[in-house]
Structure formats: structure tokens, C-alpha cells
Amino acid sequence: MHEAIGKRELIVLDGLGECLRGTYHPVADSSSELPASRGGRDRLGVLFVNSLSLPRAASGDSAVHWADSIAELGYPAFRIDLPGLGDSAGEASTDLLDLVNAGAFASVASVAVRQLVDRFGLTGMVIFGHCAGSVSALYASVASPECKGLILLDTYFHLPQASRPRVRQELSDWARRSRIGRFLSNGYDRARNLRLRLRGRALPGNANTQLLACWKQVATAGLPILLLQAPGIKAQGSKPRVGEFDYIDHVMKLAGRKNRVSVEFVESADHSFANREGRLAVQSHIAAWLVSHFPLTDFSLSAKGTASFHANEGQSGSRKSQMAPADGCCALEGR
């Protein structure tokens, strides 16, 4: 058994007393095809955290592919399992979603960032999170002085329920299947829209105000943030479903004028971003964003890295939008 192979190395971190396990994707040495011995000192790293209870490879092993592609661009990438998740030690409980939404992983994620920065001689870390993972990433960015940027996929700013009542689930499924159901569903959306208009700009009752405060803190401070959104349930392109609060519009207003937030709508993706088209579109957006915000001064992209980056540019299937979708419902209900 080996702890390191060509482009991957297994790592162990101390997560506030728990043994955290992860995978390190070193930067390839552009001249030799071999990984650099310390994988790119004096440069920025990218850290992936779990999406809810999924292991660090993520749906369809998408995180593995993204980490590989980021390392090929010249940025060392790390994927870790937070305590109680994946291969890491600790116990996760059934109120995991509530814990994530309250920022319970912020401290341990920031401790992991610090260790990785020290151990690999990095200048800082971009934290990457998808869905519930993006909530953990956002909280961690406030707790971590080493965090230099955020990549957030399908972030939700409300407090969803881990499990929907069975009757409601079945009702939703029926509405999707039948014409009458769809008609009633549209009527329900219009009623919600009326209520939304009457409420004006007030936040919905289940808004995660603690998370929104974190967002405001880091976004107004000018932290580079890449927000990627997949089409939501009954969403109208990049706009949210009729009757749903437009959280992206809201957080962009909260971010202030000096923000460095980029919002991209990835039309070809589903919520998991695991489908190949969506995965490649995300890869392309990340590459463009990293190169633009954190240009490498001492690293020429390897031929392979450059080729894959350009190859993906034309097929991203995405479009830029400052008023990107707010999938308030989030596909948590489908997972």
C-alpha cells in the first residue's frame, strides 16, 4: 500500500482532536510530468469540504475531477472529510443539516486551512463548497484569516428541512407528473408570488440570518467569491421559481459596491453538478476565475492544463448573470 501515487497523496490533519483524512492533489511539475515535491510552495491552494454527508469525492466523483484540473492549472488542491464524515474520525448525528446551517464546522475547517497553509507553505487558501458544503465554506471564511477566496456552488441562504413530510413529498411528485397537478402547482406559485410582493423586500421567515451576516462581512470586505448556480426546480432560467425569494439578488445588494463577487449560471448542470457537461462548465468557470483573481507568477501552465482549460471554454453552456437564480428551495429535497 502506498500513501502517495503520481498525482495524489493521502493526508492526515488534526481536526480539533479528531483525525481528519483527505487527499492532496499536488501541482504537476510542468517540465517533468512529475508532481512537485511540495506541490507548489508560495502559491494559493484550494480546499474542498464535504457537501452534507457525502464523502470527499462528492457526487459522481466530481470533486476529484475538479481537484485534478485545479492542480493542473498550478494550484495545489486538497479534499478533506470533516469530523464524522467520509473517512475522518468522529460521529455525525442526524441533525447534521442543522449543525451545518449553524456553522458548526467553521472552526475545524479553519484549523484545517491553517495546517495546510503551514505544512505546504501556501500563501492562502480558497475554500470550495457545494450546497451544504458551501454553507460550511462561507462560515469558515469568516473564521479563517488564511482564506483568500470562496467558490460556492448552489449556496442556499435559508434554513431547509432535512426531511420533508411524506405527504408533501408525494404531493410534489404528483404535481410534477400530472397536468392538473402542474396547473395547481402554478396556482400555488402565483399565490406565493402575491404574498412575496405584499411582503416587499422583507426576508422570508426561514432565512438564515447568521449566514447572511457572514456573507455580508466577507463580501463587503472584498473577498473574491465565485457563486455558481444550477437551474432550480421550476426556475425560469437564471431567475428563481415564481413566488420564491430572490436570495442571489438580495446577497448581491448586501455585498456592497466594492464586492468582488462573480455570479455564474451553469445552465447545463443539475444540482449535483456531477453530470459531465455541468462538471466541465464548472471546471471552466473555476479556471477562469482563479487565473483572473490569483494569477500565478512563477508557474507556466502545463501543456495539458492549458489544453483542457481552453477545450472547456467553448462548451461551458453557462452565461454570466449578476441576477442569477435563487433556488431557495435547493435540491436538498431531492437528495
Partner 1 sequence: MQNKVESNSQLQERAGYFPVSGAHLYTVLHEVIDPVARVLLVGPFASERHNSYLPWVRWARDLAGKNIEVLRYDYRGIGESTGAFEQMTFEDWSQDVRLLSNWFQSRAPHVPLVLHGLGLGAVLAGRAFDEGVGEGLLLWSPPANANQALRATLMRWVGLEQIFKFGDDRRSASDYIRELEQGSPLEVDGYLWSVKLWHDSFHFTLPAALANEEVAAQAYKKRPVRIVKLTRDAAPLTKGGIVGFDDLKDFSWLFSPNREWIVEVASQSSKEIAHA
Closest approach, Cβ 94 to partner 1, in A, equals: 5
- With H, G, I as helix, E, B as strand and everything else as coil, classify residue 19: strand
Considering the rule CB under 8 A, would residue 315 count as an interface residue with partner 1? no
Closest to 329 (Cα-Cα) out of 211, 213, 245: 245
Q: How many residues bind partner 1 (CB under 8 A)?
A: 63
Considering the rule CB under 8 A, would residue 204 count as an interface residue with partner 1? no
Residue from 42, 170, 176, 303 touching partner 1 (CB under 8 A): that is: 176
Considering the rule CB under 8 A, would residue 335 count as an interface residue with partner 1? yes
Q: Which is nearer to partner 1, 26 or 231 (CB)?
A: 231
How far is Cα 209 from Cα 195, in angstroms, rounded to an integer?
21
Considering the rule CB under 8 A, would residue 54 count as an interface residue with partner 1? yes
Q: Which is nearer to partner 1, 14 or 292 (CB)?
A: 14
H/E stretch holding 120 reads helix 106-120
Considering the rule CB under 8 A, would residue 271 count as an interface residue with partner 1? yes
Binding part of the chain for partner 1, among 70-78, 133-141, 176-184, 288-296 by CB under 8 A, reads 176-184
Residue type, 155: T
The full DSSP string for 123-165 is: SEEEEEEETHHHHHHHHHHHH-TTEEEEEEES---B---SS--
Terminal Cα-to-Cα distance of the chain (whole angstroms): 34
Q: Which is nearer to partner 1, 164 or 293 (CB)?
A: 164
Considering the rule CB under 8 A, would residue 159 count as an interface residue with partner 1? no
Closest approach, Cβ 218 to partner 1, in A, equals: 25
Closest to 299 (Cα-Cα) out of 36, 47, 8: 36
Considering the rule CB under 8 A, would residue 257 count as an interface residue with partner 1? no
89 CB-side CA count, 13 A? 9
Output the CA–CA distances (angstroms, integers) from residue 326 to 264, 295, 305, in the order listed: 12, 30, 32
**Mask of contacts with partner 1, 81-120, x by CB under 8 A?**
----xxx-x--xxx-xx-----------------x---x-
Considering the rule CB under 8 A, would residue 132 count as an interface residue with partner 1? yes
Q: Which is nearer to partner 1, 128 or 294 (CB)?
A: 128
Contact 281, 315 (CB under 8 A): yes
What stretches of 133-276 adopt beta strand conformation (E)?
Answer: 147-153, 224-229, 260-266
Q: Which is nearer to partner 1, 12 or 221 (CB)?
A: 12
**Mask of contacts with partner 1, 10-49, x by CB under 8 A?**
xxxxx---xx-x-x--------------------------
Considering the rule CB under 8 A, would residue 177 count as an interface residue with partner 1? yes
| Strands of the sheet with 44-48, listed across from one edge | 4-5, 8-15, 18-25, 77-80, 44-48, 124-130, 147-153, 224-229, 260-266, 318-320
List, in sequence order, every residue forming a beta bridge with 21; answer none if it has no partner. Answer: 12
Considering the rule CB under 8 A, would residue 1 count as an interface residue with partner 1? yes
Considering the rule CB under 8 A, would residue 286 count as an interface residue with partner 1? no
Q: Which is nearer to partner 1, 13 or 286 (CB)?
A: 13
How far is Cα 184 from Cα 16, in angstroms, rounded to an integer?
50
Over its C-alpha atoms, the chain yields an Rg (Å, rounded) of: 20
Q: Which is nearer to partner 1, 246 or 333 (CB)?
A: 333
Residue numbers at the binding site for partner 1 (CB under 8 A)? 1-5, 8, 10-14, 18-19, 21, 23, 52-62, 64, 85-87, 89, 92-94, 96-97, 115, 119, 132, 162-163, 172-173, 176-179, 182, 231, 233-234, 270-272, 274-276, 279, 331-335
